[in-house]
Structure 1
Amino acid sequence: MLNNDRLLVQILLLLLLGACLWVLAPFASALFWAAVLAFASWPLMRLLTRWLNGNATLAATALTFVWMVLVAVPLVWLGFNIADQIREANMLLHSLQVEGLPPPPDWLGDVPLIGDNLLAFWDTVDEQGTALFASVRPYIGQVGNWLLMRSARIGAGMLELALSLVLVFFFYRDGPKLAAFVHSLLDRLIGSRADHYLELVAGTVQRVVNGVIGTAAAQAVLAYIGFSIAGIPGALVLGLLTFAFSFLMVPPLVWGPSVAWLIWQGEYGMAIFLGIWGMFVISGVDNVLKPYLISRGGNLPLVVVLLGVFGGVLAFGFMGLFLGPTLLAVAYSLLGDWVTKEVPEVTAPEKLPGKGLE
């Protein structure tokens, strides 16, 4: 009867745990980002707490306010700049609809084999501009609906980001208690190896955070340098956009249209320069710097890190950038521990068989 009661208690505890996870599921992303941000910046929290004579609540409040300023202000400023760019794009479309296309560039007719056809197509579009805009207007509406849906998702992401900035305060304030709870839980589950796996997960997450943020910052700086040399207007805004798109691993969505704009302006030399700079410097640094920063200081093979980064993104989305390497690191360490368990040593005999027959 005692065993049945214990089994019933275990089932009830599992049901309670499942209900708790169900309640927290809508906030999973915000909790995840708050935990990653708090963990990555924990040295700052520890230093600030020491400066404030051990007042963890005040240190958590100050650091949370700093993150809100560093994140919210650039996002608002970037939103206003994007709104200005959208307004200019609408004015350009309106002028094209009313005044037609500008004269074709001189190089268009010199394109081998198809230069005359391109000039004829340019003239046709210029002459039938009104009819063309009328024919593509339904598709513009579909594109608008698609952008509206994506804007709603971006808005939801901004709400999650704001919630994570609120939750990070509690991770800062109660971080030692949470760490002690996780340690005691792992100690009950896996015993003396709890410290090893906590250090493994902590080190992996720290290296991934450093690799992602460091690579994004490097790409943003390099992009700003390239845009400034090429004379692209709004180089600082485009640099910040490169920083954001670097997290999604698609910086070409920023420098690619810039190359197209330079070609449209007839700046072919600068377009070639920016294309080469973007392909081999801005995007190329991601293939070198990120794996180096993530694998530095760990005992993980580089191929495990790369598979964890790219496979995690494909499996879990952007959160997989952190989950993938962490899961593979823990699995790799578990397999390593299992393989290197105590293996009975084979002692070599003093006299090999057949030696005495010689």
Structure 2
Amino acid sequence: MLNNDRLLIQILLLALFGACLWVLAPFFSALFWAAVLAFASWPLMRLLSKALDGRETLAAVLLTGGWMILVAVPLVWLGFNLADHIRDATELFKDVQVGGLPAPPAWLVGLPIIGDNLEQLWQRVDREGAELFASVKPYLGQVGNWLLARSAQIGGGVLELALSLVLVFFFYRDGPRMAAFVHSLLERLIGDRAGHYTELVAGTVQRVVNGVIGTAAAQALLALIGFWIAGVPGALVLGIVTFIFSLIPMGPPLVWIPATAWLVSKGEYGSAVFLGIWGMFIISGVDNVLKPYLISRGGNLPLVVVLLGVFGGILAFGFMGLFLGPTLLAIAFSLLGDWVKGEPQKLNAPAPEKTEG
């Protein structure tokens, strides 16, 4: 017989749970990134707490402040430099519009077979520059609106990042209690296998974090070498910016492509060609090799499952899918493995005969 009181309590609990999710929905992304950052840097939090004689709150404050300085300073510097580059690009656009293109470089004209054709194409573009600017002028307003929308998205992302840096303090301070609470919930749901799935999720997220951070560090180092060889000023700062941009998909080209364009504007065509090739095949190319290797290293999951989780997760959930995708596939893969190893249910087994007492 159905217990109406118990059913009513369950309905009320589900409604309460849904209302809580509704309240927290605007902060899901910030909470997610704060949790990932705290989890990835938890060994550092543990060492700092030990150095401070177990004062976890002070360690959380110091570590959170360190993250804010580490992230805020490059962002402020990037904002000022981006404004300067936009102003320089605007002036270059006006100079080309008024005075035309400069004379073609000697190395371009001297290329065998195609040098003369490239020179004629250069001169044709120079002659027809006014008509080209007039034809694209109606679209400049649309481009401005698109840039304005992207700027709004970037601004929202910066605010979300700032909120994540604030929330990470609470994950540092209350991390062990949160982990114990989640573990107790899993024990109520799946029993003895709770520890296995906790370790599975933790290991998968750790491998993805190692892959992302490791690949970003490698790309930053390669970018630093390329900028230094090409003679780009501020190579060290640009390397740090490359590390930050490597944390997002297709981020490094946002650094080395403007640097290549700057070399072209200065007439350093040889260095520009080198940096373009270095950026395309070395800086950006290492992402396709190193990241999957580091993510799949040390785990029991097949490499194809990890790759599908990473790239499919990005397509499905955005950048958060970089962590959600492989984690979801890892849990599903483990659940299917547990189900296959379990004893099959004997549906057609005859019922036991009753013995007469």
TM-score (norm 2): 0.88
AA aligned to 1:135 is S
Match of 2:323 in 1: 322
Match of 1:50 in 2: 50
The Cα shift of 1:266 comes to 5.7
The Cα shift of 1:292 comes to 2.1
Structure 1 stretches of 5 or more lacking a match?
A: 345-358
Partner of 1:85, secondary structure, is: helix
Question: 2:292·2:307 contact (CA, 8 Å) conserved in 1?
Answer: yes
The Cα shift of 1:221 comes to 1.0
Match of 1:151 in 2: 151
The Cα shift of 1:132 comes to 3.8
Partner of 1:104, secondary structure, is: coil
Question: 1:78·1:237 contact (CA, 8 Å) conserved in 2?
Answer: no
Partner of 2:72, secondary structure, is: helix
The Cα shift of 1:167 comes to 0.7
Match of 2:39 in 1: 39
Question: 2:108·2:119 contact (CA, 8 Å) conserved in 1?
Answer: yes
TM-score (norm 1): 0.87
Question: 2:74·2:241 contact (CA, 8 Å) conserved in 1?
Answer: no
The Cα shift of 1:129 comes to 4.1
The Cα shift of 1:224 comes to 1.1
Question: 1:200·1:330 contact (CA, 8 Å) conserved in 2?
Answer: yes
Match of 2:210 in 1: 210
The Cα shift of 1:50 comes to 1.8
Deviations 1:190-217 (A, max 9, x none): 0011111111111111111111011011
Structure 2 stretches of 5 or more lacking a match?
A: 346-357
Aligned-residue sequence identity (percent) comes to 77
- In the TM superposition, 1:13-162 aligns within 5 A as 13-109=13-109, 118-127=118-127, 129-162=129-162
For the residues of structure 2 that align with 1:131 and 1:289, how far apart are their CA atoms?
46
The 3 A distance-change label for structure 1 pair 317 and 302 is same
Deviations 1:66-86 (A, max 9, x none): 111111111111111112211
For the residues of structure 2 that align with 1:122 and 1:315, how far apart are their CA atoms?
43
Match of 2:312 in 1: 311
For the residues of structure 2 that align with 1:343 and 1:15, how far apart are their CA atoms?
37
Question: 1:81·1:237 contact (CA, 8 Å) conserved in 2?
Answer: no
For the residues of structure 1 that align with 2:273 and 2:94, how far apart are their CA atoms?
30
For the residues of structure 2 that align with 1:137 and 1:280, how far apart are their CA atoms?
34
Question: 1:201·1:326 contact (CA, 8 Å) conserved in 2?
Answer: yes
For the residues of structure 1 that align with 2:10 and 2:98, how far apart are their CA atoms?
74
Q: CA RMSD in A?
A: 2.5
The 3 A distance-change label for structure 1 pair 286 and 236 is same
Deviations 1:105-151 (A, max 9, x none): 33555667876665455445434544543432222222111111000
